[in-house]
Amino acid sequence: MRHLAAALPLALAALAGAALPARAGDASRGAALAEPCAACHGPRGRSAMENVPSLAGQPETYLTLQLILFREKLRDVEPMSTLVRELTDAQVEDIAAYYAGLPPGFPPGQMPPPGAALLARARPLAEAAHCNVCHLPSYAGRDNVPRLAGQREDYLRHALQGYRDGSRTGADTQMNGIAAALSAEDIAALAHFLARRN
As annotated, the binding site includes: 37, 40-41, 80, 131, 134-135, 175
Termini Cα distance of the chain: 44
Round to whole Å and give the CA distance between 79 and 75.
11
CA distance 198 to 194: 9
Q: What is the DSSP letter of 139?
A: S
**Dihedral-angle region of residue 152 (phi above 0 means left; psi in -120 to 50 means alpha; beta otherwise):** beta
- How far is Cα 129 from Cα 120, in angstroms, rounded to an integer? 15
Going from the C-alpha of 173 to that of each of 7, 63, 94, 111, 168, the distances in angstroms are 11, 17, 27, 30, 8
Beta carbons within 8 Å of 7's beta carbon, 6+ residues apart: none
Name the residue type at position 72.
E
Q: Please state the residue numbers annotated as binding site for heme c.
A: 37, 40-41, 80, 131, 134-135, 175
